[in-house]
Chain A
Amino acid sequence: ILNVEQSPQSLHVQEGDSTNFTCSFPSSNFYALHWYRWETAKSPEALFVMTLNGDEKKKGRISATLNTKEGYSYLYIKGSQPEDSATYLCAFCGGNNRKLIWGLGTSLAVNP
């Protein structure tokens, strides 16, 4: 059974703080790793899709890194703003069936 784990489960930070969270996945037969942002009362929106070991992607204040050999990805938010409050989901694709396996997400709350 392929498992994707995200930590921490939830996080409260102050406006202006930088933060990061982790997505762990099986390190064998890696194909792709997705990060999505899911705001309350909306639907998930794609942030990044990474496919190569060592990939680093950036979108504004948000960036992500990928280590396929050890099976983890980090998502960083620099200078958190209240509008960054959301659940951040990662999804892993690997193994033989090539389906996305989703983590439970990290819920981020940024206090003004």
Chain B
Amino acid sequence: DSGVTQTPKHLITATGQRVTLRCSPRSGDLSVYWYQQSLDQGLQFLIQYYNGEERAKGNILERFSAQQFPDLHSELNLSSLELGDSALYFCASSVDVLPSDEQFFGPGTRLTVL
């Protein structure tokens, strides 16, 4: 158990809908990262937050947004969902903001868009 929690574990929804994925980082970690893992693709970095502020952006679509709250939990919002958004979404946390910081991954949320 990494100490990172994600809810829900599974989510099934329809095209055009909007969903919110939630992540609580390890106690004491200030950075939160969101990743997408689609079939036959590697981990795609979406976005990073550090202590409530957006720190780095990756291949995140405009239909997706995220935020990190004062208690350091984070939410990833996915809207106008398409079939291709079906994927495993991971949240990870690290103690600080350095790229050399080890990342601790949550169990992931499996999103299925029908």
Contacts and interface: CB of A to CB of B under 8 A. Distances in A.
Interface of A: 31-32, 34, 42-46, 49, 51, 89, 91, 93, 97-105
Contacts of B41: 104
A43 to B, nearest CB: 4
Contacts of A98: 56, 99
B99 A31 contact: yes
A91 B100 CA distance: 10
Contacts, number: 52
Contact of B99 (A43, A99, A105): A99
Given A93-B99, A98-B56, A46 B45 contact: no
B58 A99 contact: yes
B45 A44 contact: no
A interface, over-half SS: strand
Interface residues of B, number: 21
B100 A43 contact: no
B2 A103 contact: no
B42 interface: yes
B99 A32 contact: yes
A46 B99 contact: no
25 contacts: A34-B103, A42-B107, A43-B2, A43-B106, A43-B107, A43-B108, A44-B43, A49-B101, A49-B102, A51-B100, A89-B42, A93-B99, A98-B56, A98-B99, A99-B45, A99-B56, A99-B99, A100-B45, A100-B99, A100-B103, A101-B45, A102-B42, A102-B44, A103-B42, A104-B42
B102 A46 contact: yes
A89 B103 CA distance: 13
B49 interface: no
Contacts of A31: 99-100
